[in-house]
C-alpha cells in the first residue's frame, strides 16, 4: 500500500513511481479521510510494504498526513516494511523526529525514510516563490534518478535506513516556525479570485480535500490544507492568497495539469 497526499503533483508523481515499481496499491490520504471514520483499518498482504508519500510544509509533514497516521491501523503490521518518502524544495528539518514520535504508540515503526528534492511551490510569504525554470527542470531531472535509487533500496527492504536532508537550523524551523505556520498560515481566508477568472473549475477539480467550489467564481471552505493547488493550477493566474501572491509565479507538475 502506498498512501499519498499531494497538492501540486510532486508527491503524487513520486507515489506513482513507487507504487508502480513496488507493485503496490496507490491510495489517496485525502480520500481515505473523507469517510469521516475515527479509525481507518487495513489488512496487509503477506509480502506487502506500506509507504507514505507526502510534501514538506514549513519543515514538517502536513497536518492532514499526521491526522491520517494517527487514525490508520494495520491489523497485521508485524513483520511488514514501513517507510515514508517526503518531497521538499530543499530540506525537511526535524521530519524524521516528528515521524518517529507520531508512531511511538502505534503497532508499527519506520524501517526507512527518504527525502526527494522537487520544485518549490510555496508562495504565500515574503521571500518565497517558485524556482526559476532552469532550476525547476534540473530538480525534476535529478528526482527521476533519486526516486529510482530509492525504489531499489525499498525493494531490498533496506533497514534501518533514513536519508532525509535535515538542513540547517532544523530545531528553529520545525519546532518554532512550523507550529506558527499551522496556526496562522493553514487557512483559506485570504484566498480570492480576480476578474480574470473564467470559471473553468480547475481549482475545484484539483483541490485534494474538495474545499473549493466554483459558481461563477471560486469560494473556499474551512478545510484548507495550504497545498496551493487552486493557486498553481489556475490558467489565468486569477487565484491569489491576499496580496502575497500578486507578483509570484506558478508551478504544477506537468503530468497532472
Q: Tell me: the pLDDT tens digits for 68-127?
A: 999 999 989 999 999 999 999 999 999 999 999 999 989 899 999 999 999 999 999 999
In this prediction, residue 37 has a pLDDT band, given cuts at 50, 70 and 90, of confident
Distance from CA of residue 161 to its chain's centroid?
21
Whole-number pLDDT of residue 257: 81
Whole-number pLDDT of residue 206: 97
Whole-number pLDDT of residue 33: 96
Whole-number pLDDT of residue 103: 96
Whole-number pLDDT of residue 74: 95
Percentage of the residues of the chain whose pLDDT score is greater than 90: 96
Whole-number pLDDT of residue 146: 98
**Residue 84 β-bridge partners:** 52, 113
Query: Whole-number mean pLDDT of the chain?
Result: 96
Whole-number pLDDT of residue 25: 95
**What pTM, to 2 d.p., does this model score?**
0.96
> Tens digits of per-residue pLDDT, 229-239?
999 999 999 99
In this prediction, residue 36 has a pLDDT band, given cuts at 50, 70 and 90, of confident
Say how far apart CA 53 and CA 82 lie, in whole Å: 11
Whole-number pLDDT of residue 180: 94
Whole-number pLDDT of residue 39: 87
Instruction: State the average pLDDT over residues 198-222.
Output: 97
Amino acid at each position: 500500500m502506498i498512501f499519498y497526499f499531494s497538492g501540486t503533483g510532486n508527491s503524487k508523481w513520486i507515489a506513482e513511481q513507487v507504487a508502480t515499481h513496488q507493485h503496490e496499491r496507490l491510495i489517496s490520504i485525502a480520500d481515505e479521510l473523507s469517510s469521516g471514520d475515527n479509525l481507518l483499518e487495513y489488512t496487509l498482504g503477506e509480502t506487502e510494504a506500506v509507504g507514505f508519500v507526502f510534501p514538506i510544509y514549513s519543515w514538517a509533514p502536513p497536518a492532514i498526513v499526521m491526522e491520517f497516521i494517527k487514525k490508520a491501523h494495520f491489523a497485521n503490521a508485524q513483520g511488514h516494511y514501513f517507510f515514508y518518502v517526503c518531497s521538499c524544495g530543499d530540506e525537511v528539518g526535524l521530519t524524521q523526529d516528528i515521524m518517529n514520535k507520531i508512531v511511538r504508540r502505534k503497532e508499527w515503526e519506520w524501517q526507512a525514510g527518504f527525502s526527494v528534492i522537487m520544485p518549490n511551490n510555496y508562495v504565500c510569504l515574503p521571500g518565497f516563490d517558485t524556482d526559476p525554470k532552469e532550476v525547476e527542470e534540473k530538480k525534476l531531472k535529478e528526482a527521476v534518478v533519486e526516486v529510482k535509487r530509492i525504489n531499489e533500496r525499498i525493494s531490498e527492504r533496506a533497514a534501518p535506513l533514513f536519508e532525509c536532508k535535515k538542513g540547517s537550523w532544523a530545531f528553529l524551523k520545525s519546532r518554532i516556525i512550523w507550529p506558527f505556520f499551522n496556526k496562522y498560515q493553514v487557512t483559506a481566508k485570504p484566498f480570492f479570485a480576480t476578474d480574470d477568472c473564467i470559471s473553468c473549475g480547475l481549482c475545484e477539480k484539483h483541490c485534494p480535500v474538495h474545499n473549493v467550489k466554483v459558481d461563477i467564481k471560486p469560494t473556499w471552505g474551512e478545510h484548507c490544507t495550504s497545498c496551493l493547488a487552486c493557486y498553481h493550477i489556475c490558467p489565468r493566474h486569477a487565484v491569489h492568497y491576499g496580496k502575497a501572491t500578486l507578483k509570484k509565479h506558478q508551478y504544477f507538475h506537468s503530468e497532472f495539469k
